[in-house]
Chain A
Amino acid sequence: MKQATQKKVAQFLAFLLLRVCLYLVLAVLLLFLFDIGKKGGGAISWEFLSQAPRKGMTAGGIFPAIFGTFLVTLITALLAVPLGMCAAIYLNEYARQDRLTRLIRLAIRNLSGVPSIVYGLFGVILFVNIMRFGTSVLSAGLTLGLMTLPWTITASEEALKTVPNSYREGALALGATKWQSIRTNVLPYAVPGMLTGTVLGLARAAGETAPILFTGAAFFLPYLPKSLGDQFMALPYHLYILATQHHQIEQVRPLAYGTALVLIALVLGLNMTAVVIRYRLRRKRR
C-alpha cells in the first residue's frame, strides 16, 4: 500500500516537473512577444512605416528597410520556390531508392544545417566575386535563396507525399505518361500544400541577417534600390545596427523596438498564415 502511494507521489511530482518545463518555454515566448509588442507598439506610426530614416537614423521611419526586405525576399522566392518544387518532384515521383537518391537526400539534410554565416561567405565568393553581381540586392537574394532551398524541397516533398498513390495509378492506367499523370493528377492537389510549406521557409529567410551582411545589405541609403545591382536596406540588418552599432544607442532604442516589432509581425504573420492553412488542409484530408 505504502509503495503504491509512493509511486503515485513520484509520478505526480515528475509530471509536475515536466509541466513546469512546458510553462517555462511558453513564458519565455510570451515575455518576448509582450516586451516587443509593448515597447515597439509606441514607436509604430504611419510616419514610421512610410518614411526614410532622418537625422542620422535618430528620427523618421524604416520604409526603405521594409521595401528592401520585401524585394530581397521576392528574389529569394524566385530562386528557391521553383527549384525546391522541381527537386521535390524528382525525389517523390521519379527517384528510385538508389545511391544517387540517398546522396541527394543526405546533401539536402546537411545543407539545412550549414550555418547562415557560411552561406554568406559562399555568397561573397560565388555571387559577389565570381558572377560579378557585386554587393547588391541580387547577390543577397540569391544567397538567401540557396539557404532556403533545402527547406522548400523538404516542405514541397511533404505536400507531394499527401497525394494518394491511387491518383497517380488512375492516370497511368488510362495510358497517361508519367509526366501527364504528375501534371494532371498530382500537382493540382499538391501545389497549395507546397506553397504554404515554402512560405514558412521564406519567412525564415526574410528574418535572416548573417547571409546578407556582406552580400548587399547597406548601413544606410538615402534612396531606394533602383535596380537589382544596387545595395539595399533590410529590416533585420537595420535592427542590428540600431541595437548595437548606432552612436546614440539609448536614444534610438524606441526605434529599434519598433523595427523589431515590424520584423516579428512580418515573419510571424507569414508563419501563422502558413501554419493555419496547413492545419486546415490536414483537417480536410482527414
Chain B
Amino acid sequence: MTPLLEVCDLNISFPHATGPLSVPVDDVSFTVSAGELVALVGESGCGKTLTGLALPRLLPRGAEIGPQSAIRFAGTDLTRLPDRAMRSYRGRRIAMVFQDPMTSLNPVMRVGRQIAEAIEAHQSVSRAETRARVLSLLGEVGIADPGQRIDAYPHELSGGMRQRVLIAMALAAEPDLLIADEPTTALDVTVQAQILELLDRLRAARGMAVLLITHDLGIVAGRADRVLVMYAGRLAESAPTTTLFRTPAHPYTQGLFASLPRLDHEARRLTPISGTVPRPDQWPAGCRFHPRCPVAIARCAEQRPPFALVGPDQRAACWVAQGVTE
C-alpha cells in the first residue's frame, strides 16, 4: 500500500541570504502512512520545523525547496503545484498545529470564527451548519461548555484551551495528515499529557496520520509508531519506537538516551553529549556528528554516511552502525 506521504530528498536552502549558502535541511527522506503517528525528533535548530513547514508549502520568504526534492502526497508531487492549487490542500488534506497558541490565534477575532474559517475556506456551508460543526469540534477537543467558549476571544482562554482551539481549527476541514509542531512546549506538564492524549484519541477516531515534531523524546514513548531523529539538517536515524528505545543504532540517539534521567534504573550520573550543536555555517564535513561522536572513525570525517538499513526496519546514517570499521 502506498504511504500517504512520501518525502524524497527534501532539500531546503536560502539562496539569497547574505553569507555562505545555508542549507538547513539536507536530503531528508521519510514516509508517513495513513493513520500512523510518526515523531520527528531533534534539538532546536536541527531543521525539523522547516521540514514540517515545507509539507504544506508554508516556508518563510527566501526559502527554496531544491529541484531534486519531491513531496508526494497521495500520489501528487506537492513541490510542482502552484500556490493556488496548494490552498486546496492546506487545511483540507494537510493541517498544521503550531507551537505557541497565544500568537497563533488572531487576537481581535473570536475563536469560533477562526475555526469556522477553516471550514468555510473549503466548503460552502450555511452559517447555522458551520456553527453547529464548530460547537461539536470544540466538544471533541475536550473544551467544556462549548456554547460559551465559541464566542470568546483568545485572551479570555487559558493556554491549554487555546491549544485545544488550535487543534479544533486544524481538524475542522477533516485533514488526512496533521502536522503538530511542538504542540505542547508552551504548556505546563499536566496539560501536556492531556493534549497528547487528545491527539492520540483523535487520530484513532478519524484514521488521521500525525507527524509530531518535538525535541522531547519523553513524550514520544508509548505514542508514536515510528521515530525519526534529526541532527544538523540531516536524518540521523529512523526506526519503530520500541526498536529505537531498546536498541538505538546512531551514536547521537544513544547519546540522547544516555543523557535522559530514568526512573527504572539506579540513580547514576547523566552523561551529556560532549561539545555543542554546530551552527549551520559551521557544519562539519562528512558525518556532521563526528566531532562529538565517541566512536567516530577516520572515514566519518571524510565521507558522508548514507542513510542505510542497519536492521529489519531501522535506518541510521552512521558508518560504525553500518559495520564499517575504517
Are both chains from one complex? no
Question: B residues engaging A (CB < 8 A)?
Answer: none
Question: A residues engaging B (CB < 8 A)?
Answer: none
